[in-house]
Amino acid sequence: MAEIKYSNKINRIRTFALSLIFIGFGIMYLGIWARQIEWLMLIFIILGTLAIVFSTVVYFWIGLLSTRAVQIICPNCEKPTKMLGRVDACMHCKEPLTLDKDLEGKEFDEEYNSKKYSKSNNGQAQEKSEE
Ligand SMILES: [Zn+2]
């Protein structure tokens, strides 16, 4: 049952930011519900405000990421999509996409975005440590 459902990174962050707003309003609502206890109400309202402020920060971050993302036309659904990193999924049809020809046809793996893969082709010989 460990099926990996891959989704577009920008979409995932956007969903996260949106859910933060709902969580923030939810916490604030709890604050209204707890208004008989002043300190508890204050804590809920502060936490709710923090969640909403944090989601604004995340939205701002998505804006920055979007400018760095590569816009491509998805080969599967032919809609324009944005991808981050070397591998990402289409925003519309979740088709796995890659910018790297070496990875084409390979098993889809988020690990390809990590640094150890991005520097695998520099041809440096392993240093020998001798005493
Ligand atoms: Zn697509």
- pLDDT tens, 49-82? 999 999 999 999 999 999 889 999 999 999 999 9
4-17 per-residue burial string, b: 16 or more CB within 10 A, e: under 16:
eebebbbbebbeeb
The Cα–Cα gap between 91 and 95 comes to: 8
- Does the global pTM surpass 0.85? no
Which long-range CB contacts under 8 A does 35-44 form with residues at least 24 apart? none
Q: If you average pLDDT over residues 3-29, what whole number do you get?
A: 90
Measure 85 CA to ligand 1 centroid, in angstroms: 17
**Greater model confidence, 29 or 114:** 29
Rounded Cα distance between 131 and 123, Å, is 25
Q: CA torsion, points 117, 118, 124, 129, in degrees to nearest 10?
A: -50
Distance 79 CA to ligand 1 centre (A): 6
The domain ranges of the chain are: 9-99
| Residue-level pLDDT at 127 | 43
**Residue 106 pLDDT exceeds 70:** no
> How high does pLDDT run on average in the chain?
83
CA of 117 to the centre of ligand 1 (A): 25
Tell how far the Cα of 13 is from the centroid of ligand 1, in angstroms: 18
Residue 131 is predicted with a pLDDT of 43
**What percent of the chain clears pLDDT 90, i.e. is strictly above it?**
59
Q: How far is the CA of 82 from the centre of ligand 1 (A)?
A: 10
Task: Output the pLDDT for position 100.
Answer: 79
